[in-house]
Structure 1
Amino acid sequence: MKNCLFVFNPISGSNDFDRDEINEILEIKLPGFIPYIIETSGEKDDEMILDEFQKYQPELVLIGGGDGTVKMVAKSLKDQNVPLVIVPLGSANGLAKCMGIEMISDAWEAVRDFKVHQIDAIHINGELCLHLADFGMNANLIKKFEQDDSRGMFGYVKNSFSEIFSSKAKKFLLKLDEETINVTAKMIVIANGDQYGTGAIVNCKGIMDDGKFEVISLNPETAEDYVKMTMAFLKGNLDELECIKTWSVSSCQIDNLEGAEFQIDGEMMNHPETVSAKIGKHAFKFLTGKSFKACHTS
């Protein structure tokens, strides 16, 4: 029997699992593993996770939570070379969807298949980004969501409509490899993954193990632009629109000339004057679902 850790965030999303229920599920879904459950509390979780990892020396770590929980666990175990798998219990679970894990059942299937992929990370101003970072519309939406009492997808949907139509374009200076570009946009995305938790595909070129990330400028201006953009999010052809520009890079610098809001993996970063981003190729091991798009085979 092999040891595994299940790191569980009890306040992620709107899940109502308790420790006993999780233990029963893990015993059924993870034959061949001895599971050890640890719950996050919001205080010194990174130290606790590393201590428990060193105590049990697991061969697999499951992460029950949303993007923020996944990021925290990955940072805590960055030097341990252990496979991670997401059990999507967060509000939107965007990173899990990028990994081909749409539902909780996909996580158990990923463990059974045990397809390990080396996943890239982006280092942004000293912070880890596994999924998506952005200036503008989505960052504003996340800030509203944090200030709202509603949790889960309903909270996102409730705040999204007003944000989409009230957002104003901001000016940015993009330094991409040897190219410098002045950009006016309602949203600038730094993308490792391909989609948000809502299923909106923002990064049509997104492959999480190719040693590149994408910088995407979105600047819809007319009602027609918004309708086309909404449809393109669903179809996955956003890069065909005139109001969208995409660059694939290994590093970049973005000057935030008008103080736009900025977020990394769902965590607000206030209004940085400058953001520097650099790829960390094959930084983590993740078990992935069948729909995961890979550049390198496992």
Structure 2
Amino acid sequence: MSEIRTAALIVNAKSRRGQKLFKRACRRLHQLPFKVEPHAVRDPKHLDRTVRQALENKPDLVILGGGDGTISGLVDLLVGHDVILGVLPLGTANSFARTLGLPLDIDGAIDMLATGTPKRIDLGMIDNDYFANCAALGISPQIAESVPHGLKKVLGRVGYLGWAGYQLGKFRPFTLFVDDGTSGEKKLRVVEVRISNGPYHGGTWLVDEAAVDSGQIVVQAVRGHYKRRLVANWAWSFLGRPERHHDTISFSGTSIKIRTDPPLPISIDGEVLAHTPVTAHVAPGVIRVMVPRTPA
């Protein structure tokens, strides 16, 4: 693409898989029609610094390689810069990549960087923190904080769902208070809440109303007193049957206030980074990202 002349690739290479995929990606970079400066970051604490240094060179494209947590943790740094985001999906769920319709394999994702087109999209916000795809409270933060790294690495999504089932034995429903600014605060008894900028959560399609170019944030609550409702909701979504989402209620808006009883942690694209109460916002069209070109 004539718009892109230079790019930087920053990969979270902490894991052995990340290191391996970084080397594989580098072997493909010379095939792109623009120059790419690669960076493998083995200590996640240095990711912010590496992105900031890469931005000093004013690249046209910044390619972030990692999972949803890596993308969300770094996307704040790109806001306000005249730069296009490229995504190299190296995570377990890759929900943001799925939302964008990106190829999930390394070769396909790199090829798309050459043949795709920039698209302006929204980002979600929890208070003042940007996120790419989805935040959650309830069982998801409990899973994110406790899942054994080896289980997630070896078994992927299936292992993640198995661990989720195990954690349900320790989980209790909670009370959600949500105010979308239109009809006062609503009180619900729920088992999970998703704050979504895109439809995918945990690698499965769960939030039908959410889209990265809608100009709205969506808060979806899984209602009920019984944990089996959450199990059924996940199971039907995992099997590709979103029409069975009859136990959910969604609220949409540009700014939605959320509190819970008791106060709960919030995972933002898989990383526990906040606690209720919070305000969820949308930042409309705040960033450009490389997506597959739509056939004419």
Q: Which TM bucket (shorter chain)? A: 0.7 to 0.9
Tell me the TM-score normalised to structure 1 length: 0.85
CA gap 1:229/1:75 in 2 versus in 1, 3 angstroms: closer
Contact 1:213 1:248 in 2 (8 A): yes
1:193 pairs with 188, 194, 198, which one?
Answer: 198
- Tell me the SS of whatever aligns to 1:43: helix
Structure-1 separation of matches of 2:227 and 2:69: 34
Cα 1:101–1:197 shift into 2, 3 Å:
farther
Number of the residue aligned with 2:144: 142
* TM-fit CA distance, 1:74: 1.8
SS in structure 2 of the partner of residue 103 of structure 1? coil
Q: Secondary structure at the match of 2:214?
A: coil
Q: d(CA) in 2 for partners of 1:262 and 1:252?
A: 15
* Residue 148 (structure 1) shift: 4.5
Aligned equivalent of 2:89: 88
Q: 1:118 to 1:165 in 2, by over 3 A?
A: farther
Q: RMSD across aligned C-alpha pairs, in angstroms? A: 2.6
- Which residue of 13, 22, 27 maps to 1:24? 27
Counterpart in the other structure of 2:104: 103
**Shift in Å at residue 8 of structure 1?**
0.9
Aligned to 1:52: 54
Q: Which residue of 2 aligns with 1:204?
A: 208
Match of 1:276 in 2: 279
Give the whole-Å Cα distance in 2 for the aligned partners of 1:43 and 1:285.
25
Letter in structure 1 aligned against 2:257: Q
Q: 1:6-21, aligned counterparts within 5 Å?
A: 6-11=9-14, 14-17=17-20, 20-21=23-24
**1:255 equivalent among 251, 256, 259:** 259
Aligned residue pairs, count: 285
Letter paired with 1:118: R
Structure 2, unmatched stretches of 5+, are none
Asked if the contact 2:11–2:18 (Cα under 8 Å) also holds between the matched residues in 1, the reply is no
**Mapped pair 1:156 → 2:179:** no
Give the letter aligned to residue 25 of structure 1: R
CA gap 1:12/1:126 in 2 versus in 1, 3 angstroms: farther
In the alignment, the residues of structure 1 paired with residue 243 and residue 171 of structure 2 have an alpha-carbon distance, to the nearest angstrom, of 19
Q: 1:274 Cα shift?
A: 0.7
The aligned residue for residue 223 of structure 2 is: 219
- Deviation of 1:78 after TM superposition, in Å, equals 1.6
Name the structure 2 match of 1:231.
Answer: 236
Deviations 1:9-49 (A, max 9, x none): 11258344265543222113x1x211101122223432332
Cα shift readout 1:215-247 (whole Å, capped 9, x = no counterpart): 101035374774365214533535751x21112
Q: Separation in 2 of the partners of 1:63 and 1:110?
A: 14
Question: Match for residue 39 of structure 2?
Answer: 38
Instruction: Work out whether residues 233 and 245 of structure 2, in 8 Å CA contact, stay in contact via their aligned partners in 1.
Output: no
Distance 1:136 1:5, change over 3 A: same
Letter in 1 for 2:84: P
Are residues 19 and 286 of structure 1, via their aligned partners in 2, closer, same or farther at CA, if it must alter by over 3 Å?
closer
Q: Alpha carbons of 1:12 and 1:208: their partners in 2 closer, same or farther (altered >3 Å)?
A: farther
**Residue of 242, 245, 248 corresponding to 1:244:** 248
Deviations 1:132-185 (A, max 9, x none): 01110212111112x554343165234122134553210011111232100110
The structure-2 alpha-carbon separation of the partners of 1:82 and 1:176, relative to structure 1 and needing over 3 Å to count, comes to same
- Return closer, same or farther for 1:172/1:99 CA change in 2, 3 Å cut-off: same
- Runs of 4+ off more than 6 Å: none
- Who is 1:294 aligned against? none
Offset at residue 249 of structure 1 (A): 1.3
Q: 1:18 to 1:182 in 2, by over 3 A?
A: closer
1:288 aligns with 2:287: no
CA-CA distance at 1:188 after TM superposition: 0.9
Structure 1: gaps spanning 5 or more residues: 292-298
